[in-house]
Amino acid sequence: MVEIDIREALKEEGKVYTFHYEGIPDLGEDISFARPLVLDAEYSALDRKVSVKGAFGTVLNTVCDRCLDDMKTEISYRFDELFFRVGTQEEEEYTYEGDVLSLDKMVYDAIILSLPHQLLCKDDCKGICPVCGQNLNDGPCGCKPEDTDETNPFAKLKGLF
């Protein structure tokens, strides 16, 4: 959990506080951290809203879309968000409850947003052979291109990318 204790900020409205986090938050199964998340922010409260701005960076364990090999993806993100007290505003994206403001949802959204549309282990990743499934970055497999068979599961898989 990436959580800010905002007790002081709520008492001293308008005053700017700083927050630092370094660790591996549990953001669900779809996000696997290869390095700790490092986040720095400034925050201040005003009228039951808390403004939080700053940046975070981390490295994720991901999978290449083309060859399905494990890879790492670096993420760095700047944010500037308003958090509303639960119940004061309908339909707002980010809220806080009591004295605790959790950044988990925002960090999760930011990570999903900043992941590239296509993840490639390298720009010229050769992918996998549609016939035998070998990772072609490891070398040619010896299949002939005409061996491609539509019933082969790897052929279907390749069509998705």
> Judged by CB under 5 A, which stretch of 36-44, 84-92, 129-137, 152-160 contacts Zn ion?
129-137
Tell me whether residue 89 or residue 137 sits nearer to Zn ion (CB atom): 137
CB count, 10 Å around CB of 34?
Answer: 15
Instruction: Indicate which single residue of 27, 39, 60, 129 sits in contact with Zn ion (rule: CB under 5 A).
Output: 129
Q: Is 136 in the site for Zn ion (CB under 5 A)?
A: no
CB count, 10 Å around CB of 15?
Answer: 12
Tell me whether residue 55 or residue 68 sits nearer to Zn ion (CB atom): 68
Nearest to 76 by CA among 59, 51, 52, 53: 59
CB count, 10 Å around CB of 6?
Answer: 21
> Judged by CB under 5 A, which stretch of 7-15, 18-26, 44-52, 143-151 contacts Zn ion?
143-151
Tell me whether residue 82 or residue 143 sits nearer to Zn ion (CB atom): 143
Backbone torsion region of residue 90, taken as left when φ is above 0, otherwise alpha when ψ lies between -120 and 50, otherwise beta = beta
Beta strand segments in the chain, E: 3-5, 17-23, 37-46, 49-63, 70-85, 95-96, 100-102
Instruction: Indicate which single residue of 34, 59, 119, 143 sits in contact with Zn ion (rule: CB under 5 A).
Output: 143
Using CB under 5 A as the binding criterion, the count of chain residues that bind Zn ion stands at: 10
Residues that bind Zn ion (CB under 5 A): 64, 66-67, 121, 125, 129, 131-132, 141, 143
